[in-house]
Structure 1
Amino acid sequence: MADWPDGVGRRVLTQTDSTMAEAARLAPDLSGPEWILALSQSSAKGRRGRAWSMPRGNFAASLVMRPDGPVEQIALRSFVAALALRDALIATGAEPESLSLKWPNDVLHYGGKLAGILLESLGDGRGGVVHLIIGIGVNLAQAPETAELEPRAVPPVALGRAISPEAFLDVLAPAFAAREASLVTYGFGPTRTEWLAHAARLGEVITARLPSEEITGTFQDVDETGNLILETPKGRRAISAADIHF
């Protein structure tokens, strides 16, 4: 772990309910950021409270941190995490051209879902954020059964390389630290530009499913606040959160 970032904790658990829940429990007593890796989870979850399937040998970890910068930058860590994941996957042997980034929080491998990212915040009761928890799941060893997927979801794929979750964490943690330092130092601009360079389906027609409507349009951009920009028959729409279907 020669490249492990200074001041960042590393905790490996044989089993837990979920790394997100464990991070939330530990957060008040931590003196600095910490990665929490679990080799097995009994109640893992993804976005919108959905179950996250974790076959043995796959990667599941959460980073708990006190985010620097203004409140509006906090959610931008999903882009930081996606780029860090791409860096780590390439460093462990994935072909760069095989990887693409699906807004807002997935990493695709040859078009299939390889990894997902989940952000949760712990507030101070006054609208501020005390801790941010970034959960990351990667199908290192095997993909979940497709019967567990929601309709129209991107089919899961596995990396197909022999790397342990612990070894992958030792590559991901410094990659995230470098991308985080860029965000804090230079703002979202460079992160946004780099993310867009690897965005899945940029310039193509996609569908954004919101709780009350579906919006179909051409994926034009991600704006300076991280919103997805669609060009639709009714004009440009900025979307802050949605499920995206190709």
Structure 2
Amino acid sequence: MGWPSGYGRRVLAEVDSTNAEAARLAPGLVGPEWILGLRQTAARGRRGRGWVMPAGNFAATLVVRLDEPPDRVALRSFVAALALYDGLEAVTGTAAGLALKWPNDVLMNHGKVAGILLEGLGQGALAVGIGVNLVAAPEAAEVESGAVLPVSVLAETGVRVTPEALLEALAVAWASHEERLVTYGFGPIREAWLARAARLGEEITARTGRETLTGTFETVDEAGRLVLKTPKGRVAIAAADVFF
């Protein structure tokens, strides 16, 4: 497979969180860098939620510096999701059961196997944090009510994957999709993401913090927004938690 040219890599036996480490390292980095934490002591998910990480699971952050508007930078959540999909297919030998859940989760057999967290670090630096349940998943009681239940790669496929093996597959896939985004724009990334989307054409619920909207998941638009067909018309949503 081979490590992608131009990307740094560091593997840490223990860290508070790979996104926190990314923030500390970002000012001194001259190129994109992957940071893998084999143990995290203060992991976080979206909206500041805790992220449970048993030993053997995957936690990594890519630090990249991008001279782009914020809305363009945010499209890296789609790049990360596609890279995770391809990476998991590479290390397990199958894409069966894999699907992408807007805005930034990866599903396996209808359960959440991975999550993505993007954080701006200032001075054009972006942290792309990725957590994957390789060998164990949190208990149902540990997740938000109504959320997709967590699953692990090992339980769903019977394949035991090391964090280091997934990192290499993920880094290769990221480099490929990132090059496609830079070269051809969001169009091909959007099409690839929609081809792997969970519940496309079905009824879903989106909670934005201000309101809850239920409608048919029609598409993701050219800005990466979720488009719902609701009784009040079509609505484009920039940020929300999605429930099935």
1:96 and 1:5 mapped to 2: Cα distance? 22
Check the 8 A contact 2:91/2:165 in 1, yes or no.
Answer: no
Q: What amino acid is the match of 1:132? A: L
Q: Which runs of 5+ in 1 are unaligned?
A: 125-129
Check the 8 A contact 1:121/1:133 in 2, yes or no.
Answer: yes
2:115 and 2:222 mapped to 1: Cα distance? 22
Q: Which of 146, 152, 160 matches 1:162? A: 160
Q: Does 1:140 align with 2:163?
A: no
The residue matched to 1:92 in structure 2 has which SS? helix
Shift of the 95–68 alpha-carbon distance from structure 1 to 2, 3 Å rule, reads: farther
Say what the alpha-carbon RMSD is for the aligned residues. 1.1
Q: Which residue of 1 aligns with 2:205?
A: 207
Deviating above 6 A after TM superposition, structure 1's stretches of 4 or more consecutive aligned residues are none
Residues 1-150 of structure 1 aligned to structure 2 (within 5 Å) = 3-67=2-66, 69-124=68-123, 130-150=124-144
2:216 and 2:94 mapped to 1: Cα distance? 27
Note the C-alpha offset of 1:7: 1.6
Q: What amino acid is the match of 1:89? A: L
Q: What amino acid is the match of 1:188? A: F
Check the 8 A contact 1:59/1:140 in 2, yes or no.
Answer: yes
Deviations 1:164-183 (A, max 9, x none): 10111011101100000000
Count residues in correspondence: 240
Q: Which residue of 1 aligns with 2:227?
A: 229
2:151 and 2:94 mapped to 1: Cα distance? 15
1:57 and 1:122 mapped to 2: Cα distance? 27
Check the 8 A contact 1:68/1:184 in 2, yes or no.
Answer: no
Deviations 1:143-171 (A, max 9, x none): 11222111001000000121210111011
The residue matched to 2:214 in structure 1 has which SS? strand
The residue matched to 1:48 in structure 2 has which SS? helix
Q: Which residue of 1 aligns with 2:182?
A: 184
1:193 and 1:18 mapped to 2: Cα distance? 32
Check the 8 A contact 1:69/1:184 in 2, yes or no.
Answer: no
Note the C-alpha offset of 1:97: 2.8
Identity percentage over the alignment?
Answer: 62
Q: What amino acid is the match of 2:95? A: P
Check the 8 A contact 1:230/1:238 in 2, yes or no.
Answer: yes
2:243 and 2:170 mapped to 1: Cα distance? 27
2:163 and 2:71 mapped to 1: Cα distance? 32
